[in-house]
């Protein structure tokens, strides 16, 4: 509790024991003025900044106190019997009409609405739990999208895999889709090759090669590497030909070389002269 000196306006902190000593009359420790501390007594200080605390207005009637903490028992009456003083026994207390009020009933009603707010809060929690399934569906869709992106990034090894590649090809056959072409030059087999002078162009060679796709999946036409060497095995010429340089049909290039199919490739090169006695094919 706090009070203020009316002379120097100093604010002091008091307790019940200090107030009880002189029934509220105290002496200011700053200006030595005597004053009634109950006139400005308050539980909390007013908000700052403040200069003078308000004076408590006197009540017209004394306040009534009802909350009993302790009440002593009355002494039993004295009964005189044959000039013998006998203390009468206290009558038995009757608790039949006693009504007990629970603690929450004695609390101010302003606090009760706070407890009533808990029920709608629980309803909101239950409703939010019921709406949780759209987030689960969204997470599953995102995981499926991520798996699809990873499968597309690693499509070449998946298509080359005998088990997964066969499953993908059978699924596309049912769904009517087409798998992308995957290059596997190590599974291309050179069946036959021939080099001869070009029949219509002087100083040029015509090379024919028969290639078979031994893979279980279609793959694009390879990049051909042709190396010419002399009698001592020294390389005297090399040429790398992309598929568009030896094939003019865009439809054939788009569909690639089917599994187990054979294709004959015709190549035209400049004649390096009599020094070239051997040639070699490589696929990339």
Residue 276: which of 241, 222, 232, 242 has the closest Cα?
Answer: 232
pLDDT per position as a tens digit, 184-224: 888 888 888 888 888 888 878 888 888 998 988 888 888 88
The pLDDT tens digits of the residues spanning 136-183 come to 888 888 888 888 787 777 767 777 776 776 677 777 777 777 777 888
Domain range summary for the chain, segments of one domain joined by +:
1-57, 147-180, 185-283
Integer CA distances (angstroms), 95 to 74, 92, 99, 219, in order: 17, 9, 9, 102
Averaged pLDDT for residues 89-101: 63
Nearest to 5 by CA among 48, 43, 36: 36
Q: Under CATH, to which class is 185-283 assigned? A: mainly beta
Pick 225 or 236 by higher pLDDT.
225
């Amino acid at each position: 509790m706090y009070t203020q000196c009316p002379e120097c306006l100093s604010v002091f902190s008091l307790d019940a024991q200090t107030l009880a000593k002189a029934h509220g009359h105290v002496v200011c420790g700053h200006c030595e003025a005597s004053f009634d501390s109950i006139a400005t007594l308050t539980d909390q200080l007013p908000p700052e900044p403040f200069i003078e605390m308000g004076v408590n207005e006197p009540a017209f009637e004394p306040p009534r106190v009802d909350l009993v903490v302790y009440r002593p028992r009355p002494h039993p009456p004295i009964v005189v019997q044959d000039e013998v003083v006998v203390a009468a026994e206290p009558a038995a207390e009757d608790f039949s009409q006693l009504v007990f009020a629970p603690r929450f009933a004695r609390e101010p009603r302003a606090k009760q609405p706070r407890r009533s707010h808990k029920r709608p809060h629980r309803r909101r929690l239950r409703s939010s739990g019921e709406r949780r399934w759209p987030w689960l569906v969204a997470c599953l869709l995102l995981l499926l999208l991520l798996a699809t992106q990873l499968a597309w990034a690693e499509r070449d090894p998946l298509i080359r895999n005998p088990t997964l590649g066969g499953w993908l090809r059978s699924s596309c056959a049912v769904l009517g889709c087409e798998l992308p072409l995957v290059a596997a030059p190590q599974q291309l087999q050179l069946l036959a090759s021939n080099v001869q002078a070009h029949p219509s162009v002087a100083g040029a060679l015509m090379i024919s090669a028969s290639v078979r796709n031994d893979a279980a999946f279609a793959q694009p036409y390879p990049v051909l590497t042709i190396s010419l060497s002399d009698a001592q095995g020294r390389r005297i010429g090399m040429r790398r030909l992309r598929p568009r340089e030896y094939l003019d049909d865009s439809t054939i290039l788009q569909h690639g070389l089917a599994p187990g199919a054979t294709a004959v490739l015709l190549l035209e090169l400049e004649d390096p002269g009599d020094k070239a006695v051997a040639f070699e094919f490589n696929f990339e």
